[in-house]
Amino acid sequence: MKRPILIGIAGGTASGKTSVAKEILAKLGGSQKVAIIAQDSYYKDLPGIPHVPGGGHNFDHPDAFDQELLISHLQKLIRNEAVDVPVYDHKTHARTTEVLRIEPHKVLLLEGILILENRLLRELMDIKIYIEADADVRFIRRLQRDIKERARTFDSVIESYEKIVKPMHLQFVEPSKRYADVIIPRGLENRVGVDLLMTKIKALLDE
């Protein structure tokens, strides 16, 4: 079987990374050809998450992720071997006993805020994408998501954003866009950017 294409999709929190990944999946024929791997699945359990001064945990720091396991899984997928991706529970901040079996696919989409920050991850990618979105838009999206899906309170989301998310974005996420091959402002709203990306992916698949 031909070596799969690995596409990295990075960007700040709630920038639209997952939406772009799902669009690529849909346009390339669905889950039979494309597999999406989320960096969030590789969060460490709570005791392994870096602490922040004054209490709390920093989920936006590179050390919050099990990078070695993620790299190992991607290397296996590139060799057309199946892997068992962890299932992470954002409410308990721990991996569950379940796993998600990912079989070999023609296209692998890796999405996450810090995937371009790690050199070893970058070296595995065929295309590196950064989704750029206005900070206010990202904050509102994160606020809505964390309250609805992750059992957070209004005050806790704001505190976390001010103390951790924004500083980590400026320190790690934003600088990583210099490694991107393509920067797509506004995510899915930028139809020209997304369509050009699709053209490039299809060309690689035809080689």
Strands (E), the chain: 5-11, 34-38, 83-89, 94-102, 107-111, 127-132, 182-185
- How many domains in the chain? 1
123-163: per-residue pLDDT in tens? 999 999 999 999 999 989 988 988 888 778 888 889 889 99
For residue 142, the model assigns a pLDDT of 87
Question: Is residue 117 assigned to a domain?
Answer: yes
**What distance in Å separates the CA atoms of residue 135 and residue 97, rounded to the nearest whole number?**
35
Question: Is residue 79 assigned to a domain?
Answer: yes
Q: Are residues 161 and 142 in contact, defined by beta-carbon separation less than 8 angstroms?
A: yes
**Is pLDDT of 109 > 80?**
yes
Quick one: CA dihedral 144, 146, 150, 153, positive or negative?
negative
Longest CA–CA separation in the chain, Å:
53
Question: Is residue 28 assigned to a domain?
Answer: yes
62-99: per-residue pLDDT in tens? 999 999 999 999 999 999 999 999 999 988 889 999 99
Share of residues in the chain with pLDDT > 70 (%): 100
Q: Residue 71: enclosing H or E segment and its boundaries?
A: helix 67-78
Q: Are residues 176 and 169 in contact, defined by beta-carbon separation less than 8 angstroms?
A: no
Question: Is residue 67 assigned to a domain?
Answer: yes
Within 8 A by CB and 6+ apart from 87, the residues are 41, 95, 96, 98, 99, 100
For residue 55, the model assigns a pLDDT of 79
**What distance in Å separates the CA atoms of residue 158 and residue 146, rounded to the nearest whole number?**
10
Looking only at the bridges linking them, the beta strands covering 94-102 and 83-89 are: antiparallel
14-65: per-residue pLDDT in tens? 999 999 999 999 998 888 899 999 999 999 999 999 999 877 899 999 999 9
> For the domain that residue 29 is a member of, what is the CATH number?
3.40.50.300
Containing structural domain, residue 110? 5-202
Question: Is residue 207 assigned to a domain?
Answer: no
